[in-house]
Amino acid sequence: MARVPVKLVSWDEIVEWSRGLARKIEESSWIPDLVVAVSRGGFVPARLICDFMDINDLLAVQSQHWVEAALAAERAILKYPYIVDVKDKKILVVDDIVDTGDTLELAKTFIEREWKPSEVKTAALQWISSVAKFRPDYYYIEVKDWTWFQYPWTRLEDVSQFIMRIFREDDRVKGRSIDEAYLKDLFKEWFGVEPGQFGFYWSEALNRLVIKGFLTKEDGLYRCIKCGSR
């Protein structure tokens, strides 16, 4: 069993889920005047919901919790807070997934307190009911077992961080130089997906980590130079 179960999400699935979520909102007979994306994950779903619900006004706030793929920061924080005049408007706050719920709840609380709209509701493509402390008003999919859903707009970022995690945490590679084939085997063991499923993102991630100085590559072997040794 994978240490961190990962599910790759396709662009087609994102469109399907966003359309389904928009329909659920419409069926509730509640139509927002303004959509607010929780940056960064909520950007794409929020824009699609605007399209499906014929809503023109779209803003964003950045509430951050997951600072590294599949690893949580201690608490959610709101970056770059600002104030807008949305008095008498109904606002829908949209994120991609509710895992802890901290980011979506923080964004909702801030908007209610500082922007003072007439009403605020929340929505997400997915809600992990087994771990989330906050339930959105609308969600398309309830997830009962925790999984890291790897969305297409964070593919390079996540693959890079997954590789970094292997080098930092797996004792079998600490202080060692390994070839790409062995790294791929470890990746599948850790995350339950074949690196080949990521297409060109796999090689892009390795190149990025070499350029950033996290890895070195010599004679076809990769070694972490920021991980220490056994």
Quick one: tokens of 120? 């605020």
Same domain, yes or no: 145 and 164 = no
Domain boundary (150, 181, 202) is at 150
Nearest to 103 by CA among 130, 128, 140: 128
Residue 180: CB atoms within 10 Å: 16
**CA separation for the pair 165, 187 (Å, rounded):** 10
Q: Is 46 exposed, middle or buried (0-12, 13-18, 19+ CB in 10 A)?
A: buried
Same domain, yes or no: 68 and 162 = no
| pLDDT tens by residue, 107-129 | 999 999 999 999 999 999 999 99
**CA separation for the pair 184, 38 (Å, rounded):** 33
Same domain, yes or no: 141 and 174 = no
Domain boundary (115, 135, 150) is at 150
- CATH code of the domain containing 24: 3.40.50.2020
Q: What is the residue range of 107's domain?
A: 6-150
- CATH code of the domain containing 156: 1.10.10.10
Asked if residue 124 is part of any domain, the answer here is yes
Same domain, yes or no: 129 and 169 = no
**DSSP reduced 3-state for 53:** helix
Same domain, yes or no: 156 and 128 = no
**DSSP reduced 3-state for 140:** strand
Same domain, yes or no: 70 and 168 = no
Domain boundary (106, 130, 150) is at 150
Same domain, yes or no: 191 and 109 = no
149 contacts 9 by C-beta, under 8 angstroms: yes
Domain count, the chain: 2
pLDDT tens over the chain, length 230 residues = 789 999 999 999 999 999 999 999 999 999 999 999 999 999 999 999 999 999 999 999 998 665 555 555 556 778 888 999 999 999 999 999 999 889 999 999 999 999 999 999 999 999 999 999 999 999 999 999 989 999 999 999 999 999 999 999 999 998 899 999 999 999 999 999 999 999 999 999 999 999 999 999 999 999 999 886 54
Asked if residue 229 is part of any domain, the answer here is no
* Residue 177: predicted pLDDT: 96
Quick one: tokens of 98? 């509710």
Same domain, yes or no: 198 and 88 = no
Same domain, yes or no: 136 and 196 = no
| pLDDT tens by residue, 21-56 | 999 999 999 999 999 999 999 999 999 999 999 999
